[in-house]
Structures are given as structure tokens and as C-alpha cells.
Amino acid sequence: MKKYLQILQACPLFHNKDRQEITSIIEQSKHKICAYKKNEYICQCWQSFPYLGIVLEGSLEVHNNLESGKIVHVLYKNKGNVLGGAMVFSKDYDGQFDVIAKETCKLLLIEKKSVFNVLLKDSVIASNILDLFSREIINLNKKIVLFSYSLIREKIAYFLLQNIESNAASVIHLPYSKKALSEHLHVSRSTLSRELKKLSTQGILEINHKTIVILNKQKLEAILNNNE
């Protein structure tokens, strides 16, 4: 566990906790570290998942399986991110989600009962979890807004503007590949590349691999206001 302390200290769940406190919490909890291969299921929609997980290595994605048979890519989890809040705390969890390793990854899985014990004893952890879930709700609300835009150009503009808001500079470093971004926006990879190229040609942005530089924020905003 010592090799992962730096990652755990950066995890939102352990905000304002030092390494000794984190080690003590983990040691007093029932937990395990599980390794998964690329594209291996961590949890399928018909399975229970009575753990709060922390990504120690690699990354994973969560899919929503709709009744129509369509699969929606809901979110991605990278190193240091927390997984499983809804499954642990909700009495009405309906099991519509698959969790899949996007690459070889390792998870620290803390049993549900241990999570509740920590919450009852530690107000800092309880506050961190509330903050964590609040951020998750905000992100899901952003996803809903994203779905409300019908044009691909609008979806791209919304995504970029949301990332600018959390970044004082006009430089956006994509946390995942363009293929993953196209899945996030629910468009084909070729269509995404074509629209990004148009925006680049129009002098609105500049693209260099996973880095996007916003050159004209006002024109991006105009796209959402149907003025462009």
C-alpha cells in the first residue's frame, strides 16, 4: 500500500488527510487491491458492487445500458478517481451500468460496511464524500445539457467552454483520446475530426494532438447562442 500513498493523498476522498492518517484508515478497513486487464469487466449491470473503489493504476469507463439496447458512455475514471458511490449508498440502484477497464488497471476496493464506519467516525472524510458526490451531480447535469444540443458543432463548443471555465488559460489538455472524446460527445470519430478541422480553419481554435488552444472564445459562445 505504501507505493500508492501519493496517489491516495491526491484522491478527493482523502483531502486534508496526511499519509499516516490515510494509512490508518485503510488498515482499519476491509479492503483489497484488484487488477484488471484491458476491456475486462470490473462490474456488469446485473452484478452488485458493494465497494467504494479508488483507481490506483490505469483508467476505466462506465457505460449505461438503455432499454433500447443502446450503450451510452457515461463517464471515465482515471488514476486517483473514486468509483462506486451510487452503488454503495443508494437503496434504489437499478444496475444499468457496466464498468470496464479501458486499459490495464488496479483498484483499491473498500467494503461498504467499512466505508460507513469511517463516515461515522471521521467528519473530514464525510465532508469529502459529500463534496465528491456534489461534483458528480454537477458533472451529470453538464452531461444532460450536452445531450440537449442537437448539432455536433454545438456539442463541441459546449464541451470546450466548460473546460475553459475550470482552466484560467485558454489551453485545454484532453484527458483522453479523440476516440474517447467522440464517445463522450456521442458522435463518430470522423465527424468529430471534421468539425474540429472546420473550427481550426475558421481560426476559432488550434489543435496539437491532445492539446486544444482556444483562439476565439467569443465565437465559441456565439455557436451556442445560434449566432454563428
Extents of the domains making up the chain = 2-146, 149-224
Q: What is the dihedral of CA 42, 44, 50, 53, to 10 degrees?
A: 30
* Closest to 179 in 3D by CA, of 210, 136, 212, 213: 210
- C-alpha dist (Å) from residue 130 to 94, 124, 126: 21, 10, 6
Query: C-alpha cell of 31?
Result: 479492503
Q: Which pLDDT score, from 0 to 100, does residue 68 have?
A: 67
Q: Which pLDDT score, from 0 to 100, does residue 74 have?
A: 74
Architecture of domain 149-224 in CATH?
Orthogonal Bundle (1.10)
- CATH 2.60.120.10, domain 2-146, yes or no: yes
Q: What is the dihedral of CA 150, 152, 155, 160, to 10 degrees?
A: -170
Q: What is the pTM of this model?
A: 0.77
β-bridge mates for residue 62, sequence order: 75, 99
Q: Which pLDDT score, from 0 to 100, does residue 92 have?
A: 62
* Closest to 87 in 3D by CA, of 55, 109, 58, 118: 109
- Distance, CA of 94 to CA of 91 (rounded, Å): 9
If you count them, how many residues does the chain have? 228
The mean pLDDT values, 10 residues at a time, for the chain of 228 residues are 90 94 94 95 85 93 74 81 78 73 94 91 93 85 86 92 72 78 84 92 89 90 80
Q: Which pLDDT score, from 0 to 100, does residue 167 have?
A: 57
- Please, are residues 217 and 161 in contact by the beta-carbon 8 Å criterion? yes
b/e map 26-40, b = 16+ CB within 10 Å: beebebeeeebeeee
Q: Which pLDDT score, from 0 to 100, does residue 25 have?
A: 95
